């Protein structure tokens, strides 16, 4: 099949073609390419073909990366101009307005979720009028001005109050090195863009206020993917004594308190995280039932008594970021969940999650079963949840399906 364009051609092996045909996965790996026709610069767009001539798609090429081509379209007639990227932005915005519109109780969400929205290597979170982006592919980096302009245009059109939006770039991540890009962070100052004075903003999620330090906080400053799961915690926290492990900004503990928890202990090994959590509590409660502890969660769980808590929440950082360390991660997840199960009384409640794609749903459930057997308890499942709908999952891209979240009663 021919295209209507004159892009360089990347020819992939028969085995790679079969993989593409069966999975429609948007990544073409370095070892799947058998031939390249035409000259290009890294970050350019190329057309991908099978050896027998079948058109696969078009995408960003980069010789620096093991992901040699990131396919962004399978339409041979697409033209990758400003209008193309504006259409993609409008699709992403319209989707969020349908599944997760902003209101007086929620003014934060993910606006662009990489491959799920057709922007391979771009993450963009919205905190009110501040947009925080991470650009992880050279192809997006080369086109970010067009993309950012489209985002600002679409948001301005959708704002009833005529708000002015600002973009802050959190490109201080090591993965940019693999794409041949420099790291850094700061305000995007495109045409007509001004620089706000502060890199801290107050947001509201589930009716709870938070201060977000989007310059220095983890990832883009706040984890908006747990929004619905925090709400689920609130729904069952009434009259419970709650331990919120790995509290970070205090979000699960705050939702438990809002749901009527009798007492909440928010725990984190980071003093800085606890200080931020205290600020967030002060925004929401005058006489709070929330206490704080700076400690290692593993050590803390080993020291508490059986009936100190009847609801424990585990929201640890990713214990693995590669397939090579899955075994160690499995042991870590198993240990922390075992300790929580042992610490809870019969009839207590456990919420537990993993944010690592490499820890699959099946493996995570197997780990929970192993931990429960060693703890001598049974787990009665209340809910199994995932990330919020503003972090859409593409069935053909397993990497977009990463968050596992369970609520159990311990029997």
Annotated active-site positions, please?
355
Q: Mind giving me the DSSP string for 108-140? A: EEEEEEGGGGT-TTEEEEEETTEEEEEE-SHHH
CA dist., res. 328 & res. 377, Å (int): 23
Select from 356, 349, 355, 319 the least CA-distant residue to 334.
Answer: 319
CA dist., res. 101 & res. 117, Å (int): 17
CA dist., res. 30 & res. 62, Å (int): 9
Bridge partners for 70 per DSSP: 27, 60
CA dist., res. 26 & res. 69, Å (int): 8
**Other CB atoms within 10 A of residue 10 CB:** 24
Distances (CA, A) of 341 to 101, 123, 166, 178, 232: 37, 35, 45, 40, 20
Tokens of residue 45, six digits: 């767009």
CA dist., res. 64 & res. 76, Å (int): 26
**Other CB atoms within 10 A of residue 73 CB:** 18
């Amino acid at each position: 099949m021919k295209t209507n364009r004159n892009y360089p051609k990347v020819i992939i092996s028969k085995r790679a073609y079969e993989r593409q045909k069966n999975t429609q996965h948007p990544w073409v790996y370095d070892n799947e390419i058998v031939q390249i026709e035409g000259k290009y610069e890294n970050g350019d767009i190329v057309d991908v073909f099978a050896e027998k001539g079948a058109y696969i798609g078009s995408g960003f090429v980069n010789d620096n990366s093991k992901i040699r081509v990131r396919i962004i379209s399978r339409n041979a007639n697409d033209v990758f101009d400003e209008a193309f990227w504006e259409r993609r932005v409008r699709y992403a915005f319209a989707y969020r307005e349908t599944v997760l519109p902003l209101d007086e109780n929620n003014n934060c969400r993910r606006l662009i979720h990489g491959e799920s929205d057709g922007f391979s290597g771009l993450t963009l979170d919205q905190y009110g009028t501040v947009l925080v982006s991470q650009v992880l592919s050279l192809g997006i980096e080369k086109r970010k001005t067009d993309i950012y302009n489209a985002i600002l245009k679409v948001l301005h059109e959708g704002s009833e109050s005529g708000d002015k939006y600002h973009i802050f770039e959190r490109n201080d991540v090591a993965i940019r090195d693999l794409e041949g890009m420099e790291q850094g962070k700061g305000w995007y100052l495109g045409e007509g863009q001004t620089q706000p004075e502060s890199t801290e903003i107050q947001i509201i999620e589930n009716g709870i206020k938070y201060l977000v330090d989007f310059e220095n906080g983890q990832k883009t400053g706040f984890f908006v993917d747990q929004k619905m799961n925090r709400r689920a915690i609130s729904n069952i926290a009434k009259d419970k004594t709650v331990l919120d492990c790995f509290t970070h900004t205090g979000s699960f503990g705050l939702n438990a308190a809002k749901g009527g928890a009798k007492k909440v202990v928010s725990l984190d090994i980071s003093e800085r995280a606890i200080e931020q959590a205290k600020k967030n509590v002060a925004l929401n409660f005058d006489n709070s039932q929330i206490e704080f502890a700076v400690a290692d969660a593993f050590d803390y769980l080993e020291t508490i008594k059986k009936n100190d808590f009847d609801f424990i929440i585990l929201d640890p950082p990713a214990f693995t970021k590669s397939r090579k360390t899955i075994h160690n991660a499995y042991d870590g997840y198993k240990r922390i969940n075992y300790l929580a199960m042992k610490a809870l009384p019969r009839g207590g409640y456990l919420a537990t999650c993993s944010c690592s794609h490499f820890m699959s749903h099946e493996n995570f459930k197997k780990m929970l079963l192993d931990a429960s057997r060693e703890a001598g308890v049974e787990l009665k499942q209340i809910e199994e949840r995932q990330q919020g709908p503003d972090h859409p999952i593409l069935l053909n891209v397993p990497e977009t399906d990463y968050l596992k979240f369970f609520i159990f009663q311990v029997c």
